[in-house]
Structure 1
Amino acid sequence: MARRRSERMIITKVAGLGAERTTRREPDELIVEEPMSIQLDGALVATTMRTPGHDYELATGFCFTEGLLAGAPIIGVRYCADGSAVDSEFNIVNVETGGRAPAPTPRLGNVSSSCGWCGSEQLDDLWARLASLPVTPPIDLDVVAGIPDRVLGMQGLFERTGSVHAAAAFSADGEILVTREDVGRHNAVDKVIGSMLLDSRGSVPATGLGMFVSGRASIEMVQKAWAGGFSTLVAVSAPTSLAVDAARRAGLVLAGFVRGSAFNVYAPERLPAVE
């Protein structure tokens, strides 16, 4: 069932100041934001605010990047573990491993559409469960510089509403492989990784590939890129110091403020291509 991802509303548009001010009523398109509960083998693990669409990918990617699967294979994904999906308005998704995944511990409270990171315990767990990434040939810096413009042309929801984030997986030669949009940055990344996990070609771990995010590079963005096996993370805004620390530990190339031909490389500390 196709879900409504944006909603048309009548708004008042204001322009100018003082005596020059004008107002007019006109239609505008707003992004839809709804809660979605994610279950693993019928047990609730999180509730996140998201843009409807690609819900199976979001639930799969979340369970994977948060380490909940612990290597267990996914045997199915479906709406609503109990009862009718219509009754739950398609806002409950269950990821099924047939009980092979460890019993999950649900998060306290909701995951917001801006950040799902909970605290220092998760950071300790991150170091413990993820090995350093394999060394791969670096993606050419000219390719890195061109990724935001390539992804922008695939952001249909952003073009209509101006209020969603985008994430994309790209190859070493700059080909955009998967693009997803969502009101939450972390949701967009989970949808990309979930898409790749559910792809019959099995393209995770994404060794040698890059991940693009349209916002800042928070610790959670680095966590998810690292968990997905990506070699490079490209962000149009700044990283946090914790994100840089995590990227350096992971061996993940982290580029921020990627806008046009100028950007910063934060991890590793030095790249042969920019010496």
Structure 2
Amino acid sequence: MSGQARVDFVRTARDGSAEPIARNVPLERPIALEFNGIGYAVMMATPCDLEDFAVGFALSERVASHPAEIVDVDCHSTAQGEIVRVTLSAERAPELFERVRHRTSDSSCGLCGIENLEQALRPLPPVPAQTPVPADAIFRALASLRDHQPLNRETGAAHAAARCSAAGEILEVREDVGRHNAFDKLIGAMARTGAGWDGGFALLSSRCSYELVEKAALSSCSTLVTISAATDLAVARAKECGLTLVMLARPDAMLTVAP
């Protein structure tokens, strides 16, 4: 699936003139994720690279702690959307049931609410120590990112997550209408091939929320670069796990969160 569709529009100019045009828009579909036969989540995403998405999502959600625990990924298209069935190893069943319980528990009582808050902000593992990424490497990656975003070039409406080398070479990219989905797809693609960050960094075409920091930390990424700003919780979580966070990365400047 190409990840885009052709749509007819009417273009209206400031002078009042109008003309028909056609342009591509990104696909957005409900993606139902099932783990060991249990419905876990329905995400709105671009329906391509779904095997990567499922693996990255499982690791980011801590449903699986290692790619080897993901036995199989099966994708099925329906008229309503996509169903992705993931088979986890038997030893992951207790953790899966616990995660499902917390996702579906009734938080109307104080105790349940506290439990859910604790689950939302679970401790993150410390990221591997690495030599600081040179600023010129980040600027190099920024300059070439657009060349690796075919879906966004066609539609103007897709986020990208890129794996970059320590020298700023873009090695791998995944795109999606959702910034979280794009990063999950990249993490999943890396997990499926055994690729690591190897002293490089992640570059995201989005603002930085705390979820993106968590995904980076859980994938052992030591440096996360985002084109837009970060939230205060993202900064706090990055400091908690030792992640170097660079935000507002633009062609002329960037901000690195002080240690």
Give TM-score, length-normalised by structure 2: 0.87
Is residue 42 of structure 1 aligned with residue 37 of structure 2?
Answer: yes
State the match for 2:4 in structure 1: 6
Q: Percent identity?
A: 33
Alignment of 1:37-186 (within 5 A): 37-71=32-66, 73-79=69-75, 85-87=76-78, 91-101=82-92, 102-104=95-97, 105-106=99-100, 107=103, 120-125=117-122, 127=123, 130-186=124-180
Equivalent residue of 2:70, what SS? coil
Partners in 1 of 2:176 and 2:121 — Cα distance? 28
Query: Is the 8 Å Cα contact of residues 33 and 42 (structure 2) preserved in structure 1?
Result: yes
Query: Is the 8 Å Cα contact of residues 168 and 178 (structure 1) preserved in structure 2?
Result: yes
The 1:242–1:7 alpha-carbon spacing in structure 2 relative to 1, beyond 3 Å, is same
Partners in 2 of 1:120 and 1:238 — Cα distance? 24
State the match for 2:108 in structure 1: none
Give TM-score, length-normalised by structure 1: 0.83
Query: Is the 8 Å Cα contact of residues 5 and 31 (structure 1) preserved in structure 2?
Result: yes
Query: Is the 8 Å Cα contact of residues 134 and 207 (structure 1) preserved in structure 2?
Result: no
Q: Deviations over 1:14-62 (max 9, x none)?
A: 111xxx2211111121111000011112212211000010001101100
Partners in 2 of 1:182 and 1:138 — Cα distance? 29
Query: Is the 8 Å Cα contact of residues 30 and 81 (structure 2) preserved in structure 1?
Result: no
Equivalent residue of 1:92, what SS? strand
The 1:184–1:86 alpha-carbon spacing in structure 2 relative to 1, beyond 3 Å, is closer
Equivalent residue of 2:215, what SS? helix
Equivalent residue of 1:36, what SS? strand
Using the TM superposition, give the Cα deviation of residue 177 of structure 1 relative to its aligned residue in structure 2, in angstroms: 1.7
Give the counterpart letter for 2:72 in structure 1: G
Partners in 1 of 2:54 and 2:225 — Cα distance? 23
Query: Is the 8 Å Cα contact of residues 56 and 194 (structure 1) preserved in structure 2?
Result: yes
Equivalent residue of 1:39, what SS? strand
Q: Deviations over 1:61-117 (max 9, x none)?
A: 0010111113462221112xxxxx354677111222232213343445xxxxxxxxx
Equivalent residue of 2:65, what SS? coil
Using the TM superposition, give the Cα deviation of residue 158 of structure 1 relative to its aligned residue in structure 2, in angstroms: 0.5
Runs ≥4 residues deviating over 3 A = 86-90, 104-108, 119-123
Give the counterpart letter for 2:133 in structure 1: I
Is residue 21 of structure 1 aligned with residue 13 of structure 2?
Answer: no
State the match for 2:218 in structure 1: 227
Partners in 1 of 2:244 and 2:183 — Cα distance? 17
Give the counterpart letter for 2:71 in structure 1: I
The number of residues matched between the two structures is: 242
Using the TM superposition, give the Cα deviation of residue 178 of structure 1 relative to its aligned residue in structure 2, in angstroms: 1.3
Query: Is the 8 Å Cα contact of residues 207 and 231 (structure 1) preserved in structure 2?
Result: no
Query: Is the 8 Å Cα contact of residues 77 and 83 (structure 2) preserved in structure 1?
Result: no
Select the residue among 195, 215, 237 that pairs with 2:228. Answer: 237
Give the counterpart letter for 2:49 in structure 1: H
Partners in 2 of 1:124 and 1:258 — Cα distance? 26
The 1:229–1:28 alpha-carbon spacing in structure 2 relative to 1, beyond 3 Å, is same
State the match for 2:109 in structure 1: none
Equivalent residue of 2:190, what SS? helix
* Structure 2: gaps spanning 5 or more residues: 105-115
Select the residue among 229, 238, 242 that pairs with 1:247. Answer: 238
What's the C-alpha RMSD, in Å, of the aligned pairs? 1.8
